[in-house]
Amino acid sequence: MATSNNSSSSSGSSGNGAKKPLGDIIYAGLTRGAAGAVILLSIGIVLSLAGNSWPAIVKFGASFISSTTWNPVMSEFGALSSIAGTLISTIIAMAIAVPLAVIIAFFLVELAHPVISKPVGYAIELLAAVPSIIYGMWGLFVFAPFMADYIQPALQRWFGFLPFFEGPPMGIGMLSAGIILALMVLPFITAVMRDVFQMVPSVVKEASYGMGSTTLEVAREVTVKYGFSGLIGAVFLGLGRAVGETMAVTFVIGNSHDISVSLYAAGNTIASTLANEFTEAAEPMYISALIELGLVLFLMTLVIQVLAQWWIARTQKKAGAGL
């Protein structure tokens, strides 16, 4: 048979006496097994989280997500402060990161000479590679004191009449957590948005320039509109990251189970509560309630994922229609 010698280097190493069916049977079995493992994992996560949080689900019912009481001593658990904290920190992060990402992507694609845009783009991608615990260390020991000394007093001076900026400027708290979160998701969103902007055909842009548009007008009227669905995809990506980010937030959020209007106050997120309390929890009901918190977070990311994929599938179908 001529099959054995068409791959140059590995022909000697593997036994080519193996008949076609046998090798292919093993091959089919292994790849199927691996694919099965993926399905098993996905189902396993749902089942194990739901199963282990069942005692808490039965005991607290719907009050788990509407109550703010988090009292391990009395075994009373309500997740509202964690859910609210997760949402608030995510909203702060997205409110800062999305506009910044759009404008940085605009700079990288439309304005900067390749000599500048390549290294800048590279630096921003490196920001994405920095592990979250590093952001946590930097946030706790460098950024939080900086916030307490400069940013927070300044905000209080100018916007002190707003309830969001009340209370002593401690550095740690919801606002600092949101800003660090923004810094962490910024590179992810920017990288995707840059790719989206780059995919806009230059003919379309040049046509607009030919009509006398300024760079901003081309970006607003052509690039952003052309790549709008991609931009939304980038936002979903950042959202998924921000909701579940653990270490960076745990270091700076202050870990309090009170809900406060002031963004200077300490708070907590689902992920930070898990990171802080899980290893200390001994009571079965406490552990069960923490796992139910995890289930809530999982469902949040699942909804974001499903929305994102539905959006991508929808726009891919429409893509044939052009602009």
Using the rule CB under 8 A, is 192 a contact of another protein? no
Residues in the chain, overall count: 323
Nearer Cβ to another protein (262/276): 276
Using the rule CB under 8 A, is 301 a contact of another protein? yes
Tell me which of 79, 88, 92, 104 binds another protein, using CB under 8 A. Answer: 104
Tell me which of 67, 156, 215, 262 binds another protein, using CB under 8 A. Answer: 215
Stretch that binds another protein, among 18-26, 57-65, 66-74, 167-175 (CB under 8 A): 18-26
Total residues at interface with another protein (CB under 8 A): 89
Nearest to 272, CA basis, from 284, 287, 258, 254:
254
- Burial profile 240-252: b = 16 or more Cβ within 10 angstroms, e = fewer: bbbbbbbbbbbbb
Annotate 62-130 with DSSP letters as a single string. THHHH---EETTTTEE--HHHHHHHHHHHHHHHHHHHHHHHHHHHIIIIIS-HHHHHHHHHHHHHHHHS
Nearest to 114, CA basis, from 103, 102, 122:
122
Using the rule CB under 8 A, is 13 a contact of another protein? no
Tell me which of 61, 66, 75, 111 binds another protein, using CB under 8 A. Answer: 111
Nearer Cβ to another protein (142/162): 142
Residues from 58 through 97 that contact another protein (CB under 8 A) = none
Angle in degrees, CA 61, 63, 67, rounded to 5: 150
Residue with tokens 């390749």: 114
Stretch that binds another protein, among 160-168, 222-230, 303-311, 314-322 (CB under 8 A): 303-311
Tell me which of 133, 154, 199, 207 binds another protein, using CB under 8 A. Answer: 133
Using the rule CB under 8 A, is 196 a contact of another protein? no
Using the rule CB under 8 A, is 254 a contact of another protein? no
Tell me which of 80, 84, 100, 204 binds another protein, using CB under 8 A. Answer: 100
Q: 70: number of CA atoms within 13 Å, CB side?
A: 24
DSSP state of 221: I
Nearer Cβ to another protein (126/261): 126
